[in-house]
């Protein structure tokens, strides 16, 4: 009697929906944390901006505050106050004030008699001249006549321009001869704000907007004015309107931050749109929601895979049950065929053993092939650093024999650098064998080329090869691995020297570089025998070489071509029209000094 196989209970998608409903409230504390963080950042940014603007505004005002008492000591102005009817003296005073206005950058400088009548002004020759106009109703005039520094913000009744007035009494002993006034133009302070989402708001002691980055807010009251304040505005006339209309701003739409200027009774505020805070908060919540959705999808995938696993187990159980039933039904038939089945089993076991043996031999052959390729690559790539180490070591021995320890130490440092380069080459060969796909970095072409030339410098001089360089003075930045680029340049220069070894002097190598529409092209040309037709077709194939087995394995150009293509570049081979080989190394251009990834991008 067989047991009944039950299918395990499946997890339904409604469980995920329930889990989503339970996790969704977690987005609320995320929103609160994000809003707190971005609000603090926005407040700090606005505070710094506010400090800069207030410092600039106060600096502008303080620069002109000391001018009235100083200029009031000028003899010409004092003489005019004592002799008002002197026409020549008045012309001299007008010209003097005009010159002072040009030198100081003030808007207007003018001299007033004790009755408030303007005797001389820097704008005496303009249509809106202050001369012969009476400003005795202005607060700054009354304060100066009382012996106190006069200060006042107002809209010019003549020019219609906003300005801040500084006034000081002109004295002759204890007697006040008149008042000297300097008007500062404040219109330009609004232009310093620029086109920003935050809005500037400067209000006076009445709460009326006098400076703002929004022109339609100007001369609107930010609070309700009482009768005394309205009477004061009517008496002093700081604005064109006697009753400023209220400024209607939605408090929830703005984040306000202000600074009180107690000396002049102003308040400077920055209004940041709520959108500047809501936008990053919404983005943070959206990212959190996306992360939650990804978590739910991952859980759903795991649930789906578990369901499939349970179904497969149930299907296997049913299959085993059916198999047991068939076995019971066909026991007699199997007994009759038992001997034949034994023979077939023996044949299958023999075939399986042969298959396993063949697989083992194939794996061993693959291992030997990979080991041979790697050994050949390492032997080829480490040949030049080992030769350099041997040369530096021999030089160090000679230098130590001559007691030149500093020079010997320098050679030992170079040997250390060569060993580091060998380790880097080995790491790069391993990375190349594994088809590493890391992105390149920004590398300076000229220094890499100088390093490769320095490594082959002794051999080049021994062969009497003339090097002709035509490289731009400005550094060319390319996208490449720094060690791989030096490896490629060293291989190409070594191949050029090998080709020149077959030619009698003169031997020459030309190096030139230029920018192109596709990146940066480095041209390497020699006056050797050049490429044969077969070499041009097969030069990039591994183990193809025109040298003897002792001179090379035929991996140099193949490795260089693979490295360059992995970096998104191209290696072009051709013969120059004047003879010799011409190799063009085409690399992608990169931004100066900008790393596109970590400095050692190909390390394993």
Convert the pLDDT of each residue in 534-545 to its tens digit.
Answer: 777 766 666 556
Find which of 87-91, 421-425, 449-453 is predicted with most confidence, using mean pLDDT. Answer: 87-91
Task: Give tens-digit pLDDT for 140-188.
Answer: 899 899 989 988 888 777 667 788 899 999 988 888 999 999 998 887 7
State the pLDDT confidence band at 58, using cuts at 50, 70 and 90.
confident
Which of 498, 526, 494 is closest to 510 using CA atoms?
526
pLDDT of 110 higher than 90: yes
By the 10 Å C-beta count (0-12 exposed, 13-18 middle, 19+ buried), 410 is classed as middle
Two structure tokens written together for 283? 């983005």
Distant-in-sequence contacts of 279-285, Cβ < 8 A, 24+ apart? 280/34, 280/38, 281/31, 281/34, 281/35, 281/38, 284/30, 284/31, 284/34, 284/38, 285/27, 285/30, 285/31, 285/34
Looking at the chain, the whole-number percentage of residues with pLDDT higher than 90 is 8
Q: What is the pLDDT of residue 596?
A: 40
Mean pLDDT score across all residues of the chain: 78
pLDDT of 68 higher than 70: yes
Position with higher pLDDT, 597 vs 315: 315
> Lowest mean pLDDT: which of 96-100, 259-263, 480-484?
480-484
Q: For residue 287, report the phi and psi dihedrals to the nearest 5 degrees.
A: -65, -45
Which of 112, 251, 231 is closest to 182 using CA atoms?
112
> Lowest mean pLDDT: which of 167-181, 279-293, 554-568?
554-568
Two structure tokens written together for 373? 């390729």
Over range 359-387, report the average pLDDT: 51
Q: What is the pLDDT of residue 542?
A: 61
Q: What is the pTM of this model?
A: 0.44
What residues contact 183, with CB distance under 8 A and at least 6 apart?
Answer: 106, 107, 108, 109, 110, 156, 163, 164, 165
Task: Give tens-digit pLDDT for 184-203.
Answer: 888 777 776 667 787 888 88
Task: Give tens-digit pLDDT for 572-596.
Answer: 888 888 888 888 888 888 887 644 4
- Tokens 């990375």 correspond to what residue? 431
Over range 254-278, report the average pLDDT: 83
> Lowest mean pLDDT: which of 114-123, 274-283, 308-317?
274-283
CA neighbours closer than 13 Å in the CB half-sphere of residue 13: 3
Q: What is the pLDDT of residue 1?
A: 46
Q: What is the pLDDT of residue 364?
A: 41
| DSSP letter assigned to residue 78 | H
**How far apart, in whole angstroms, are the C-alpha atoms of residue 541 and residue 556?**
10
How many of the other CB atoms lie within 10 Å of CB of 242? 11
Looking at the chain, the whole-number percentage of residues with pLDDT higher than 70 is 83
Q: What is the pLDDT of residue 381?
A: 57
Over range 258-276, report the average pLDDT: 83
> Lowest mean pLDDT: which of 38-42, 80-84, 256-260, 439-443?
439-443
pLDDT of 274 higher than 60: yes
Task: Give tens-digit pLDDT for 14-29.
Answer: 766 776 777 677 677 8
pLDDT of 369 higher than 60: no
Over range 251-275, report the average pLDDT: 83
């Amino acid at each position: 009697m067989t047991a009944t196989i039950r299918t395990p209970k499946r997890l339904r998608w409604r469980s995920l929906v329930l889990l989503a409903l339970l996790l969704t409230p977690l987005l609320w504390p995320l929103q609160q944390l994000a809003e707190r963080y971005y609000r603090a950042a926005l407040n700090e940014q606005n505070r710094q901006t506010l400090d800069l603007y207030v410092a600039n505004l106060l600096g502008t005002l303080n620069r002109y505050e000391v001018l009235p008492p100083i200029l009031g000591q000028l003899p010409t102005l004092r003489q005019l106050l004592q002799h008002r009817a002197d026409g020549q003296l008045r012309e001299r005073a007008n010209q003097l004030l005009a010159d002072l206005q040009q030198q100081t950058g003030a808007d207007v400088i003018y001299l007033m008699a004790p009755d408030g009548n303007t005797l001389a002004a820097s704008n005496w020759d303009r249509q809106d001249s202050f001369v012969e106009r009476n400003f005795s109703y202005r607060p700054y005039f009354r304060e100066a006549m009382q012996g106190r520094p006069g200060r006042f913000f107002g809209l010019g009744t003549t020019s219609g321009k906003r300005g801040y007035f500084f006034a000081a009494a002109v004295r002759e002993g204890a007697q006040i001869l008149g008042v000297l006034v300097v008007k500062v133009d404040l219109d330009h302070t609004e232009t310093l704000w620029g086109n920003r989402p935050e809005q500037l708001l400067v209000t006076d002691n009445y709460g009326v907007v006098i400076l703002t980055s929004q022109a339609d807010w100007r001369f609107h009251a930010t609070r309700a004015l009482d009768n005394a304040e309205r009477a004061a505005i009517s008496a002093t006339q700081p604005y064109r309107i006697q009753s400023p209309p209220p400024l209607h701003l939605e408090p929830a739409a703005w984040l306000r931050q202000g600074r009180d200027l107690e000396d002049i009774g102003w308040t400077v505020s920055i209004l940041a749109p709520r959108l500047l805070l809501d936008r990053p908060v919404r983005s943070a919540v959206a990212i959190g929601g996306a992360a939650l959705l990804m978590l739910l999808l991952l859980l759903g995938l795991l649930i789906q895979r578990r369901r499939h696993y349970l179904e497969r187990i149930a299907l296997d159980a049913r299959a085993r049950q059916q198999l047991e039933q068939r076995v019971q039904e066909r026991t007699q038939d199997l007994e009759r065929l038992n001997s034949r089945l034994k023979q077939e089993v023996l044949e299958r076991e023999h075939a399986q053993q042969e298959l396993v043996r063949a697989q083992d031999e194939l794996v061993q052959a693959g291992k030997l092939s990979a080991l041979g390729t790697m050994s050949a690559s390492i032997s080829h790539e480490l040949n030049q650093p080992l030769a350099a180490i041997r040369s530096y070591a021999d030089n160090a021995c000679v230098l130590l024999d001559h007691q030149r320890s500093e020079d010997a130490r320098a050679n030992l440092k170079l040997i250390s650098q060569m060993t580091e380069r060998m380790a880097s080459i080995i790491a790069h060969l391993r990375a190349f064998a594994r088809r590493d796909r890391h992105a390149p970095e920004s590398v300076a072409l000229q220094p890499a080329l100088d390093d490769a030339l320095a490594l082959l410098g002794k051999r080049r001089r021994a062969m009497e090869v003339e090097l002709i360089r035509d490289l731009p003075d400005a550094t060319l930045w390319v996208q490449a691995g720094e060690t791989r680029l030096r490896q490629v340049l060293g291989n190409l220069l070594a191949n050029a020297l090998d080709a020149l070894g077959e030619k009698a002097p003169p031997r020459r190598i030309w190096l030139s570089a230029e920018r192109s529409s596709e990146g940066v092209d480095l041209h390497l040309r020699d006056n050797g025998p050049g490429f044969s037709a077969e070499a041009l077709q097969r030069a990039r194939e591994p183990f193809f070489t025109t040298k003897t087995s002792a001179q090379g394995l035929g991996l140099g150009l193949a490795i260089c071509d693979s490295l360059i293509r992995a970096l998104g570049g191209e290696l072009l081979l051709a013969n120059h029209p004047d003879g010799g080989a011409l190799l063009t190394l085409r690399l992608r251009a990169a931004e100066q000094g900008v790393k596109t990834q970590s400095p050692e991008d190909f390390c394993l």
